[in-house]
Amino acid sequence: MKRTATRLADGRELIYYDLRDDAVRNTPDRRPLPEVATASEVRHDPLLGDRVVIASHRQTRTYHPPADACPLCPSRPGRDSEIPADDYDVAVFENRFPSLAGDSGRCEVVCFTPDHRASFADLTEERAGLVLDAWTDRTAALSRLPAVEQVFCFENRGAEIGVTLGHPHGQIYAYPFTTPRTELVLRSLAAHRERTGRNLFDDVVADERADGRRIVLEGEHWTAFVPRAAHWPYEVHLYPRRRVPDLLALDDAARTEFPQLYLELLRRFDRIFGAGEPPTPYISAWHQAPFGGWEGRGAGRADFALHLELFTIRRTSGKLKFLAGSESGMNVFINDVPPEAAAERLREVANQ
């Protein structure tokens, strides 16, 4: 992998990741961009104990541009984009409209491919491996920022999810705190250790493998399953066999096998609802151990298990799972698809 760092016209960082060592990325950004102005503020909710990010400047962000004006495509004569080069393998840059900025953290955009019409599932294993390398490199860099406590790499795919740019891309959020969801997991992790003396992540994966009904696919170094208490209609968790706290700790064998299994999962997701259906909307999210704030938690970073959670809000053909009263008002999910049935369906579409 070759890494080339540069700056956009307004000072934001842009990094190219290339498979070829002889790739040259020196095209300057000639756009007359104004200085980036952000208004991010993290506020504390005294009732729930969590945090809310207020980011009013995002109201003016780019919204469903036509394909010939996509800001994530390579630049062309007469049409400059966020990527000055006329081609790239993978590119990462600071978001022009970040939810988190300065002392409130950082937000980055990860462009998986220059092909506007593609998706992550269309990548080769080699290119998907390069994306994994980029996620890992950015996790390492962002974790060193003084304000950052947790790094979150994720992809939103599909207009139904709320995506405003159709180009295949993901994002990285570097939070200045441990997210509420992770806080809940850490409390469960510590309580399980106190109660049993064992690791909760290890027990969950071992129970799923022993049961077998919800296993979707297994490799030598990864296991993918629908969790017993899945919140979403089709939800898969992907764990490395060897527990590690973050992407940086994956060994070479797990890194090599990951693209094969992950691409297969994504392709199955697009086959769940049958031929003729539009691409399945999904969220794909890496859960990594926080890099700080472990004092008094009853667990350490080594107890956390890196894993990826992939899920869709489509519950059946033409119908979405909406977060209505129970989910949005009380955070009690109601799932219409039994996890065992979801796993069976994801196994059925393996060879279609």
Check if the beta carbon of residue 308 is closer than 8 Å to that of residue 284: yes
**Residue 351 CB partners (closer than 8 Å, separation 6+):** none
User: Is there a catalytic annotation at residue 307?
Assistant: no
Active-site residue (options: 44, 64, 167, 169): 169
Considering only CA atoms, which of 54, 37, 144 is closest in space to residue 99? 54
The residue count of the chain comes to 352
Check if the beta carbon of residue 121 is closer than 8 Å to that of residue 165: no
What is the distance between the alpha carbons of residues 352 and 344, in angstroms, rounded to a whole number? 14
Q: What is the residue type of 196?
A: T
Considering only CA atoms, which of 318, 120, 341, 162 is closest in space to residue 235? 341
Using the CB atoms, write b or e for 322-349: b if 16+ within 10 Å: eeeeeeeeeeeeebebebeebbebbeee
Report, as residue numbers or ranges, the catalytic residues: 169
